Chain A
Amino acid sequence: DADVTQTPRNRITKTGKRIMLECSQTKGHDRMYWYRQDPGLGLRLIYYSFDVKDINKGEISDGYSVSRQAQAKFSLSLESAIPNQTALYFCATSDQGERGAPNTGELFFGEGSRLTVL
């Protein structure tokens, strides 16, 4: 089983619908992130969270909201989906790095959720 699991993996929806993408992790990491990937634009940060009480906006948070239900769960919502939110969405985690060992801050990614808004 994957350490970082995203559901659904693929979703087609219509403009105006509410969509939730879910992410759960078994790595025990404190930090979780949502990124969006568009062709030719790389990955851009939507939201990030350091723990259940600490949620922060990223570069492109407009039109999105998130919920950190538990250390292991971080969901992304599109309250009213629009076609330009069609993209590949990635959840990622990283270790807080306060355990004394060197930590590069590598991000561990889920397999991605491909969302199409018609």
Chain B
Amino acid sequence: AQKITQTQPGMFVQEKEAVTLDCTYDTSDPSYGLFWYKQPSSGEMIFLIYQGSYDQQNATEGRYSLNFQKARKSANLVISASQLGDSAMYFCAMREGNYGGSQGNLIFGKGTKLSVKP
């Protein structure tokens, strides 16, 4: 079974509108971390946002917020006020276990390609 599932291979959004990118995860470990990365067409991986499994509040970073629903095992990325520069691949990833006690690697989903229309 996939540990990270991103069900939207591609999405379109109008410039200045908000968009939600879906991510569900599967783990039996009570301690884990969830990450979103952006990969523009140039190829680099850009860290966007992090949510720890014990964090009480949803993470926010500027126009990015993470809608964390623990019982549903979902960690959707919300981008507000989309910009043309947001067009990219977006990857959801998970680290199982506390960082110090785990091997530290991230398990990635297959990604969602977001296209922002002017």
Binding site for B on A (CB under 8 A): 31, 33, 35, 40-45, 48, 50, 56, 58, 88, 90, 92, 94, 96-98, 103-109, 111-112, 114
Question: 14 additional contacts, CB 8 Å, given A31-B104, A105-B95?
Answer: A33-B104, A41-B110, A42-B110, A43-B93, A43-B106, A50-B104, A56-B103, A90-B45, A104-B50, A105-B99, A105-B102, A106-B47, A107-B35, A107-B47
Is the Cβ of A97 less than 8 Å from the Cβ of B100?
yes
Which B residue sits closest to A106, measured CB to CB? B47
Residues of B within 8 A of A109 (CB): 44-45
Interface flags for B90-101 (1: CB within 8 Å of A; 0: not) read 010101000110
Range of interface residues on chain B? 20 to 34
Q: Is the CB of B105 within 8 A of A33?
A: yes
Residues of A within 8 A of B103 (CB): 48, 50, 56
Q: A33-B105, A98-B100, A109-B45 are known contacts. Are A43 and B91 too (CB-CB below 8 A)?
A: yes
